[in-house]
């Protein structure tokens, strides 16, 4: 009996299966859909990955008349893409691929054997296929992937040294499967990663970054992040992570910064910008660590950390927008603690102005940064955060906090002072913005009065 959750996928792929069957070829469903079908996980409603014994030319001949559109950018790797009914299908000829020691790109060799194709996949839980050209779908599982899913074991179809040599990115991908599926890597996998970690250097930084992103947005990335640290993988592309394991203060028992940072990542919502900020928020601590009479301190680590965050994200080739936003969150993550005497209206306005569109992420990061086991301290932190959010909400009722600006614009300043564009206007607007932040919105008459007083006190500006 066909499981009900498989029926929609079979219906979508039936026309393809019929065409391949009619021409004497086999076609198989592969990839994450097969794994997630067996794991009972939520199914991705995106692309459908298939593999076949047909060559790319034969695939084009069979699929072309049926598909709404066809694309062949991946043909040299054996992949033909097709769309039909708003869905995308990627059909790849059985293959084996391997990296040469001095190459970043795989060399593809085609095959007609499904088991040979599956043997070259990354992990046994991904080395399963459903044949669609039989009367009923048949599970092809030559390496015991279904059992490994049940027993939560991460293995490679071939020896891990072979698998990781074929594509060194798989060492990094292991971290995502450890975190995302609760799989425990075998001792052989750990040993192979430890021995081959430097092999990651031949993989393009864009592929490395993409894999890190996928890890970070799993429900709980902690096990994967620990795997990266313990195997030395992080040192190859994210050396700031192992550097967080700074020497602890044996007298004052300062908490381990690495453990704290990973805990903060796990506490935050699985949104990439926020998770990256959580990962980087304390990277400045090792460089600013000092031990004094009162114990360990990390003065200005947010400033140093923001600079280090920007450098690392540029090295990983994140977009300028993402880099700017994460860097700003790191720079601001201690801002809340500077208002220890309470949240005045002006303090709230400055906090909101500085955070801008990052406000919600900054508040969540600040909340999640409290990982203390001291119940009293945790409750005090939560209470103070609640008070801040209440103050923000109260001021929003009366003021446009999301767009704080001077009460006069540049044109009004120039007309009132009788000056043209230049430094004087800029200084005047800076002054009016400070007044707005400190005292709240002013009516026009009061704003002009304040501007006149500023001009009288600064005639030479």
- Residue ranges of the domains in the chain? 4-151, 156-238, 239-402, 405-457
For residue 402, pLDDT beyond 50:
yes
Tokens of residue 281, six digits: 């928020």
For residues 215 and 233, the answer to whether their CB atoms sit within 8 Å is no
Give 106's pLDDT tier (boundaries 50, 70, 90). low
Region of 51 on the Ramachandran plot (φ > 0 left; ψ -120 to 50 alpha; else beta): beta
Please state the rounded mean pLDDT for residues 449-456: 84
DSSP per residue, 66-120:
T-SEEE-TTGGGTEEEEEETTEEEEEEE-EEEE--TT-SSPEEEE-S-HHHHHHT
How much is the average pLDDT of 267-288? Answer: 94
CATH superfamily of 4-151: Beta Polymerase, domain 2 (3.30.460.10)
What's the alpha-carbon Rg for the chain, to the nearest Å?
Answer: 29
Domain 239-402 sits in CATH 1.10.3210: yes
Q: pLDDT tens, 290-305?
A: 766 666 667 779 899 9
Cα gap 216→153, rounded to integer Å: 21
Class of domain 156-238 (CATH, top level): mainly alpha
d(CA 318, CA 210): 10
pLDDT tens per residue across span 325-341: 999 999 999 888 876 55
Question: What phi and psi, each to the nearest 5 degrees, are found at residue 187?
Answer: -60, -35
| Span 122-154, pLDDT tens digits | 999 999 999 999 888 899 999 999 999 999 999
- pLDDT value at residue 249: 44
- Given a cut of 70, is residue 267 above it in pLDDT? yes
**Which pLDDT belongs to residue 295?**
64
With bands split at pLDDT 50, 70 and 90, how would you rate the model's confidence at 453?
Answer: confident
- Do 156-238 and 4-151 have the same topology in CATH? no
Residue 103 has pLDDT above 70, yes or no: no
Backbone angles phi, psi at 49, to 5 degrees: -95, 130
């Amino acid at each position: 009996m066909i499981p009900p959750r498989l029926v929609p996928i079979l219906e979508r792929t039936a026309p393809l299966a019929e065409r391949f069957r009619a021409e004497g070829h086999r076609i198989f469903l592969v990839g994450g859909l097969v794994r997630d079908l067996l794991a009972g996980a939520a199914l991705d409603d995106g692309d459908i990955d298939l593999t076949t014994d047909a060559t790319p030319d034969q695939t084009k001949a069979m699929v072309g008349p049926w598909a709404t559109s066809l694309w062949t950018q991946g043909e040299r790797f054996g992949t033909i893409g097709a769309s039909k009914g708003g869905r995308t299908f990627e059909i790849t000829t059985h293959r084996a691929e391997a990296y040469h020691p001095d190459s970043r790109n795989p060399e593809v060799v085609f095959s007609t054997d499904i088991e040979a194709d599956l043997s070259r996949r990354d992990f046994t839980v991904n080395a399963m296929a459903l044949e669609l050209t039989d009367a009923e779908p048949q599970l092809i599982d030559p390496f015991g992937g279904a059992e490994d899913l049940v027993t939560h074991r991460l293995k490679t179809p071939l020896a891990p040294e072979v698998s990781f040599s074929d594509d060194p990115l798989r060492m990094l991908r292991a971290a995502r499967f450890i975190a995302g599926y609760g799989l425990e890597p075998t001792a052989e996998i750990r040993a192979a990663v430890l021995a081959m970690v430097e092999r990651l250097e031949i993989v393009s930084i864009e592929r490395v970054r993409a894999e890190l992103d996928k890890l970070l947005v799993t429900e709980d990335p902690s096990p994967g992040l620990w795997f990266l640290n313990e195997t030395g993988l992080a040192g190859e592309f994210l050396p700031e992570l192992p550097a967080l394991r700074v020497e602890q203060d044996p007298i004052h028992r300062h908490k381990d910064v690495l453990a704290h940072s990973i805990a903060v990542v796990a506490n935050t919502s699985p949104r990439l910008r926020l998770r990256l900020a959580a990962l980087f928020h304390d990277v400045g601590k090792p460089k600013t660590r000092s031990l004094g009479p009162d114990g360990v301190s990390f003065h200005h680590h947010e400033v140093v950390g923001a600079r280090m965050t920007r450098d690392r994200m540029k090295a990983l080739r994140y977009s300028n927008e993402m880099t700017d936003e994460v860097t700003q969150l790191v720079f601001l993550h201690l801002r809340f603690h500077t208002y220890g005497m309470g949240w005045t209206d002006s303090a709230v306005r400055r906090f909101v102005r500085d955070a801008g569109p990052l406000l919600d992420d900054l508040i969540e990061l600040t909340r999640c940064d409290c990982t203390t086991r001291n119940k009293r301290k945790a409750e005090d932190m939560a209470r103070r955060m609640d008070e801040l959010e209440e103050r923000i909400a109260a001021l929003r009722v009366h003021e446009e906090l999301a767009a704080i600006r001077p009460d006069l614009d540049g044109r009004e300043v120039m007309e009132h002072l009788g000056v043209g564009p230049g430094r004087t206007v800029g200084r005047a607007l800076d002054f009016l913005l400070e007044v707005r932040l400190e005292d709240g919105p002013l009516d026009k008459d009061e704003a002009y009065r304040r501007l006149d007083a500023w001009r009288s006190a600064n005639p030479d500006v």
